[in-house]
Every structure is written in structure tokens, then in C-alpha cells.
Structure 1
Amino acid sequence: MKAIIQRWDYDRIRAFLFGSRTHYGLVFSLILYTVLVVIAFVYLYPLLFMFITSMKSPQDLLNPMVQWVPTGFYLENYIKAFRVLNYPQTFMASVLTSLLPSLIQAVVCSLVGYGLARYRFPGKRLIFLLMLATFIIPPQNTVLPQMLTYREYGLLGNILALLLPAAVGQGFKSAIFILIFYQAFSTIPKVLEESARLDGASDLKIFLQIALPNALPAYIVTILFSTVWYWNETYLTAIFLEGGIQTLPMQLSKFVQAYENLYPPGVVNIFDRINEAVKLSGTFLNIVPLLVLYFILQRWFVESVERTGVTGE
């Protein structure tokens, strides 16, 4: 009897430490959470460093004893960066040049992906090949003919230089989104469409009432990823818009020059001169809208990524 009790206690201790078929043990949980904390720190460290440094006053920057805890919250850095970036105007321009093309691109890519997933027609494999080529070939190799074509049609310096390519399935990384929708629509049982056709539904009605609701995760992923890529794209945007529209990333790329124009070095005092805190304040203001967008849509975004099988970049 005593041996049985000892054996039962041993099994309980072993299950508590190393787990069983129904739950994880303490050792595995400690290892798992340690790995997760380390990974989270690696990702969050740049943001924490950026935010803390942006809150430092010039005295804190010069004080080697002040590292992670500033002596006070110095908001003057953000006020200066806000003025230099011309934030209200550049923010609205960024929203216009990122969200609007993303919405158009999501609609067009879903139509193309649905057509490739549900219909058979000659040249389908060739279309797939050409679509993948648009993704494999670097945009730097095609920017010159694109620019010449846009100039011929008077699109340079106009928001239409971003909207029209998105409207014909040639926006930034459209091939990826077409493949996402292709995969999403391919998983929908065909029996649903066949039943709808027997009831007299048209192709458009089938797409709107059956295919579209089942592809909502793909729409969420496409809009979020597309918005981020359009937001961060400065090379092609600067070429196609020709400086007619200034976005936040474009203004941030010339932050030092804009700051010196607003605060001339020979006129302002030492506390108004540009430093790392002011630069990081401008960078943080640039990424804050994307962080807010992610935190608001985090729940739907994570669920959509899991259902579509897309990994983040």
C-alpha cells in the first residue's frame, strides 16, 4: 500500500513537471514562455528605445547616467517633429496614397483571383506565369518604362499614377494578393455554387453572396498588407508623384534638411538644434498610424492570417 502511494505521488510530481497527455508541464511552460519573452523583447526593443530616446531632453541626452528612464517627459521633441513633418497635411496625403489604392487593389485582385480559381479558359497557365513574373522581376527594372508611359498619358505627379495600376491589377505586389484570393476561393466547396445556380443565381450574385463572405479573411489581410506597403513605399511613390504629393515617409527621408530650414543652425540656440531625440520623434510619428491600425484590427488580423496561411513581413 505504501509503495502504491509513493508511486502515485511520483506520477503526480512527474506530470506536474513534465506534463501529461492533457496539459503541459511546468518545465515545458517555463521554456516556452522564456523563448516567447526573448522573441518579444527582440521585436519590441527598437520601439522601446525609440520612444524612450524621443522623450529625452537635451540635458538627458548629454547625461551618460540617463539611459532607460528619462528625468521627465520632454514633449518639445514631438512638437518640433510635428512642425517639421507638416504632420496634418502629410498624414492626410499618406492616407490618400495608401488606403485608397489598397481598397481598389483588394477589389480587383479578388475578382482576378476568383476568375482564376473558378473558371477554366485557354491561356490560364500563361496568365499565372506572367503574374508571377510581375512579382519576381524587381520594380527597379520596370520603373523606367512605367515612368515614360505615365508621362505620355500625363499621369506623373497625379494620384492616378497609383490608382490606375491598382485598378487593373498591377499595384504594389498585386501578384501576392491575387494568389491569396486564388487560394481562398479554391477552398470554397463548389457544391454551394452549383446549388445557387440551380436556384437561378447569376455569376455576380454567386460571387457577392457566397464567395465574398467566405473570403473576408483574405480581404482583411490584403487591405492591411497593401496599406502598409503603400505607406512605406518611397522610391516608386517619389518617382510617380514627382513631389506633387508629400507623404510622411517622403517627408521623413528629408527630415534633417527640413529641420534646418525651419531652425537655421546659425540662428537658433543649442537646445533647438537637431539631435537624435528629435529624429526619433519624427520616426515614431511616422509609424504611430500603422501601430494604431494594427492594435485596432489585431484580433481580425491574426484570425485572417491563420485562415489564409499568410506570414507577415
Structure 2
Amino acid sequence: MEGRLSIEQKKKLKARVNKSKRFLFGMQGKEGVLLKTFVYVLLICIGFVYLYPLIYMVSFSFKSLEDLLSPLVNWIPSQFYFDNYLRANNVLSFLPTLMQSFYVTVLPALAQTAVAGVIGYGFARFDFPLKRTLFVLVLATFVVPPQVTMIPRYVFFNELGLLGNIQAFLIPAVLGQGLNSAIFILIFYQFFKMIPKSLEEAAQLDGAGVVRVFTTIAIPMAVPAIIISFLFSFVWYWNETYLASLYFGNQLSTLPLELQRFVATFNQLYSGNDSGANSINEGVRMAGTVLSILPLLLVYFLTQKWFVEGVDRSGITGE
């Protein structure tokens, strides 16, 4: 009787140990508590690293000069001070500059996406002499830093009279030489390669031409690649300040360009009053930074559903 009880006790103990192991470490594809805890802690740490600058900017943008100087006020302002945003709005000329920013980013991004789709489809579906060599040369343009070709392009655009307007961005995009166009061509090339040729062959048997096959079959199936290419192209054109300042001069401006000149513009607007209330401080700078990134945040929140779906379906992870 005692032997039976000891065996039963051993079985119960073993069952409890196995249950504890399954609970802590997981079993048969199920994640344990330790692994889940590690993953959540890791994600929280990574999320904090990314969110900390944004939280810092928003918090300090609502602080008055008294809150900035007070050692008792750290993250939460004593009151929401909106004058920082009013001054930042005046310095940035927010609405006119925002319209110009969309003007010089949306049109080149649309043109670059459309041209990259056509070029990628051509490389994926047609055979022609020196195809591989041309494709390698197209991809090689991504390796060459834009600073190398900056001066030759500037001289060339100056001779053609393209400086000071959107054509300095738009024409290279239409010719497949926009910002990082090689990456988008490669994206479309890989995506069109995955589409079965039998679909296009069936359409050709029904009398569809090349253009109709491209517009009715290839383009609808390449929506994820189109979304990814447009959004990345839009962000890259938006954040481009070096080439924009070189090509546009004083004729066109963007929010990132105005943010670079924020301190100088602020001093010009408020130089007549030397009081501390009208001097530039951390709160005004953070308000200007928040206003400059706000359009991109809104674009992402409005398109995140299609963006995530496009990344998931196309297998693209970005840079």
C-alpha cells in the first residue's frame, strides 16, 4: 500500500513539474510565461526608445518659460502654454509652407511610383538585349551617393533653367532618376516576378494587348508595392533638405527647410523685443519641431492600415 502511494505521489509530482515547465517555458508550439515576459519587456524597451523623443517634444512644447526654469516641473507642465505653438506657427508660416511641402513631395512621389512600376514591369516581363547589364546599372545608381552627382546636376539644371521650381525634382522622377528610384524599381521587379505568367497569357489569348494586361492585371495585383513605394518616396522627398535647399533656393520652401532656419527666423521676427517672454527657448523649438513632423504622423495614421497590409503582402521591411 505504501509502495502504491509513493508511486502515485511520484506521478503527481512529475505531472506538477511538467505542468510548471509548460507554464514557464511552453510546450508544443505554445509560448511559456518566461518567453512572453522577455518579449514584452524587450518590446516595451524598444518602444520607449522610439517614443521618448516624441514624448519629450510634446511635453516641452507646452511648457512656459517659468515651467522650463522651474526644477519642480519635469514632464507634466503646470498648465498648457499654447503661445509656443502660436510663435512657431508664425516662424514657420505653417499653412503656406505646408502647401508648398505637399506640392514638392506628392507630385514627385506619384511620378516616381508610376515610372518605377513601368520600368520594373518591363524588366520583369520582357527580354531585350543587354537586359541584365541595364538592370545592374539601374541598381548601381542607388550605390552612388547623391552628393557625388549634386554639383553636375546643379550645373545641368542651371543650364536648362530648372532651378527654383519643382521641375528639379519632378523631371528626374519622371525619367526614373528620382530619390532612391532604384529601390522602387527593384521592389516592382520582384513583385511582378511573383505574379504567375499564366494570368497574363490567358488575357493575351482573349485578345488583350500589353498595355491592357499591365493596367488590368499587373497594376491591381501590385497595389501593396504601389502603397509601399509611394509612402517611402513621399517620406524621402519630404525629409530631403540638402538637395531641396540647393535646387529650390528661396523660390520654394518646405517645413524641414524652415525648421533648419527656425532660430534665425525667430530672431528676425522677435528681435525688436528683448524681454524674456519673446526670446527663443526650448519650448518654442519643440513646438516648431512638433509642427514640422505632425503632417507625416497624420499621413501615417491615415494610411497605416494599407501600409502594414502592403508590407505584409510584399515582404518589404524598408531600409
TM-score when normalising by structure 2: 0.94
In the alignment, the residues of structure 2 paired with residue 119 and residue 22 of structure 1 have an alpha-carbon distance, to the nearest angstrom, of 45
Aligned counterpart in structure 2 of residue 275 of structure 1, from 249, 261, 281: 281
In the alignment, the residues of structure 2 paired with residue 185 and residue 273 of structure 1 have an alpha-carbon distance, to the nearest angstrom, of 56
Aligned counterpart in structure 2 of residue 57 of structure 1, from 64, 70, 75: 64
Aligned to 2:318: 312
RMSD across aligned C-alpha pairs, in angstroms?
1.3
Structure 1 segments unaligned to the other structure (5+ residues): none
Which secondary structure does the structure 1 equivalent of 2:162 belong to? coil
2:97 is the alignment partner of 1:90: yes
Aligned counterpart in structure 1 of residue 201 of structure 2, from 194, 200, 203: 194
Which secondary structure does the structure 1 equivalent of 2:30 belong to? coil
Counterpart of 2:125, as a letter, is: R
Larger Rg: 2
Aligned counterpart in structure 2 of residue 292 of structure 1, from 286, 298, 307: 298
Residue deviations 1:239-281, cap 9 Å, x none? 11122011111111111111011111x5242111101111111
Structure 2 segments unaligned to the other structure (5+ residues): 1-7
In the alignment, the residues of structure 2 paired with residue 52 and residue 279 of structure 1 have an alpha-carbon distance, to the nearest angstrom, of 12
Aligned to 1:128: 135
Counterpart of 1:142, as a letter, is: T
Aligned counterpart in structure 2 of residue 220 of structure 1, from 227, 230, 234: 227
Which secondary structure does the structure 1 equivalent of 2:252 belong to? coil
How many aligned positions are there? Answer: 312
Counterpart of 2:188, as a letter, is: F
In the alignment, the residues of structure 1 paired with residue 210 and residue 318 of structure 2 have an alpha-carbon distance, to the nearest angstrom, of 33
Aligned to 2:3: none
Which secondary structure does the structure 1 equivalent of 2:164 belong to? coil
Residue deviations 1:169-223, cap 9 Å, x none? 1111101100000011010011111111111111111111111111111101111
Aligned to 1:111: 118
Superposed displacement of residue 310, structure 1: 2.4
TM-score when normalising by structure 1: 0.96
Aligned to 2:16: 9
- The 4+ residue runs of structure 1 with deviation greater than 4 A are none
Residue deviations 1:147-190, cap 9 Å, x none? 12212221111111111111111111101100000011010011
Greater Cα shift, 232-241 or 300-309:
300-309
Superposed displacement of residue 2, structure 1: 4.2
Superposed displacement of residue 42, structure 1: 0.6
In the alignment, the residues of structure 2 paired with residue 256 and residue 310 of structure 1 have an alpha-carbon distance, to the nearest angstrom, of 39
Aligned counterpart in structure 2 of residue 157 of structure 1, from 158, 164, 176: 164
2:247 is the alignment partner of 1:256: no
Counterpart of 1:279, as a letter, is: R
2:166 is the alignment partner of 1:174: no
Q: Structure 1's 85 and 272: CA in aligned 2 closer, same or farther, altered over 3 A?
A: same
